Chains A and B, each alone.
Chain A
Amino acid sequence: MKITREAVLHVADLAHLELKEGEVETYRQHLDEILTYVEKLNALDTSGVEPMAQVVAVGADSAAAWREDEVHDAAVTAEALAAAPDPAPPFFRVPKVIEREP
């Protein structure tokens, strides 16, 4: 067993996911199975192999990759805020994150 219950809870915490009690063991089993499967990559010697950082090399140094940094007004503030769960134009409202000193 590679993945412990604690590791699942740690990863869920990093990913901001609340898990139900039943989900913890299910995900532990699935992650364990998948991570055991991906270990097959260790059979390959990749010393001297560069990690792939760009999918298609075309255009990297072309005009398309460089442009003027121009400001455009997308003019969608009202529409964007309309899609928010708790808008307070022009802001998004969230639960309080900073407590003031009394």
Chain B
Amino acid sequence: MTTNAKRTIAAVRADLAAKRVSARELVADSYARIERDNPRLNAFLALSPERAYAQADRIDQMVARGEELPPLAGLPLAVKDVLATRGIPTTCGSRILENYRPPYDATCIERLEQAGAVVLGKTNCDEFAMGSSNENSAYGPVRNPVAPDRVPGGSSGGSAAAVAGGLAVAALGTDTGGSVRQPGALCGIPALMPTYGRVSRYGLIAFASSLDRVGPLTASVADAAALLGVIAGHDPCDATSAAVPVPDYLAELGKPVAGLRIGIPREYFGEGMDAGVRERVDAAIAQLEKLGCRRVELEMPHTDYAIATYYLIATAEASSNLARYDGVRYGLRTPADSLAEMYRKTRGTGFGAEVKRRIMLGTYALSAGYYEAYYLKAQKVRSLIARDFQQAFEKADLIVTPTSPVTAFRLGERTADPLAMYLADIYTVTGSLAGVPGISVPCGNTSEGLPVGLQIFGPHFGEARVLRLAHAFEQASAAVA
């Protein structure tokens, strides 16, 4: 049996259909790996064996009856702990939701299970998805399977580590400012942020509602396409989910990439990028040109304002969304004599340092006398950043950039300076603000052996094109290696 790390969705399905392995064996194998490696990686916070084996048995019965298997049959799946799972602990990496068990499933989980996927458990993340290194989890940091003294990136660090470490074949993460793409880059796996509204947010515990998206982290680009095809589409439970038809992403993968205009925005290739990252990204762009893509030089002049814009808007929305954690309906309560004191003590003890920092920043940006100077100004600059993308897509079919200016850094190396940590999100937050889809696809390792990610942005609902280029690049890289 091949390891999870080498498995793909198609291989799992083929192995099941040919009875080379049973779904139950696949689950048992995944749990054996988790038992062995999770104490070191800390990628999983909770496991759901009852639910996983029940689903595996359903798949095995379908195999026994000779039925056609659903697209994700038997897929061992890890789910970021900000997605609600009925009866299974959902903590958001926070003490304030310790032991919380939601009474419902997120729509994306429901759809994946209907398509045959097996939920193994919930993965570690920065508290309420706020962080870029997974060091803000109340349940300890995750280690990068590629380099265990280093972070996996964040905030979907547990999901990235679970796939890169072979504990699961695929994972769901969430991306607000880069939280799927950046850990994908730092752990060396493909990671997709779909268009805003492409995937239902119902059951995604809110951080910043105008930015939050659910996306897959996988062993191959084709697997990301397969997962997206299942979770995409309108959901009556999420009014912001788009009623735009869902294409057959897997079928689109095989279409040619020669002639595609790839835009290279010069603002993404300035100071602050590690030399090792630049070398790999330059080589990747040369590779894309070899595949027949046409390089187009772009200017996206508001890129430099994206971090400031993002951290005002995201924190403002977070300060509102996180008001619900007050010790009344779920999670932690710190008892006190008055209701107001109970709120203050519960939130003061239940939230970690980064979450409190962001709540205060967002509250400040929305408070009387500062709303126009901070929040409204940021919303206007957000329009300018979105316009940069619109204009870029008049000249180019796709935009190609690095995913992160740095590779995986050492645990503890960057925790002292919150602003410096924010600045490392420079290449990902732009696309988050503009609502466009983006993928990070591995483009080799630095001389230190650390993975580098290539980011590809597409226009709204242009996932098929994004995936097609990423897939072609992945295939070409595999042929070279």
Interface residues of A (CB under 8 A from B): 7-8, 11-12, 14-20, 23, 27, 30-31, 33-35, 37-38, 40-42, 44, 46, 49-53, 55-56, 58-59, 62-65, 67, 74, 76, 79-80, 82-86, 92, 94-97
B308–A92 CB distance below 8 A: no
Q: Report the bound CA distance from A36 to B103 in whole Å.
A: 43
Q: Interface code B72-113, partner A: CB below 8 Å = 1, 0 otherwise?
A: 000000000000000100000000000011111000000000
Q: Interface code B279-317, partner A: CB below 8 Å = 1, 0 otherwise?
A: 000000000000000000000001011011101100000
List 12 A-B residue pairs with CB atoms under 8 Å apart, sorted by A's residue number: A14-B367, A15-B359, A19-B356, A33-B418, A37-B308, A46-B377, A51-B376, A55-B197, A55-B211, A56-B460, A59-B234, A85-B330
A65–B239 CB distance below 8 A: yes
B419–A56 CB distance below 8 A: no
Using a CB-CB cutoff of 8 Å, which residues 362-415 of chain B contact chain A? 363-364, 367, 374, 376-384, 386
Closest to A51 in B: B379
For A18, A76, A86, which residue has the most chain B Cβ atoms within 10 angstroms?
A18
A95–B338 CB distance below 8 A: yes
Q: Report the bound CA distance from A94 to B422 in whole Å.
A: 38
The range of chain B's interface size is 35 or more
A86–B305 CB distance below 8 A: no
Measured CB to CB, the closest approach of chain A to B206, in angstroms, equals 14
Closest to B322 in A: A15
A38–B357 CB distance below 8 A: no
Q: Report the bound CA distance from A46 to B309 in whole Å.
A: 13
B101–A34 CB distance below 8 A: no
Q: Which 5 A-B pairs have the closest CB atoms?
A: A18-B348, A64-B243, A51-B379, A79-B103, A85-B333
Interface residues of B (CB under 8 A from A): 87, 100-104, 195-197, 210-211, 234, 236, 239-244, 302, 304-305, 307-309, 311-312, 319, 323, 326-333, 336-345, 347-349, 351, 353, 356-357, 359-361, 363-364, 367, 374, 376-384, 386, 418-419, 422, 435, 460-461
A46–B197 CB distance below 8 A: no
B363–A95 CB distance below 8 A: no
Q: Report the bound CA distance from A56 to B418 in whole Å.
A: 30
B331–A17 CB distance below 8 A: no
Selected contact of A27 from candidates B240, B356, B367, B378, CB within 8 Å: B356
Beyond known contacts A41-B378, A94-B342: 16 more, CB 8 A cutoff? A14-B367, A17-B347, A27-B360, A31-B364, A34-B419, A44-B305, A50-B380, A53-B379, A58-B461, A59-B243, A74-B104, A79-B87, A83-B101, A83-B329, A84-B330, A85-B328
Q: Report the bound CA distance from A68 to B386 in whole Å.
A: 33
A37–B419 CB distance below 8 A: yes
A55–B419 CB distance below 8 A: no
Selected contact of B197 from candidates A37, A59, A79, CB within 8 Å: A59
Known: A16-B344, A44-B305, A46-B380. A56 touches B363 (CB 8 A): no
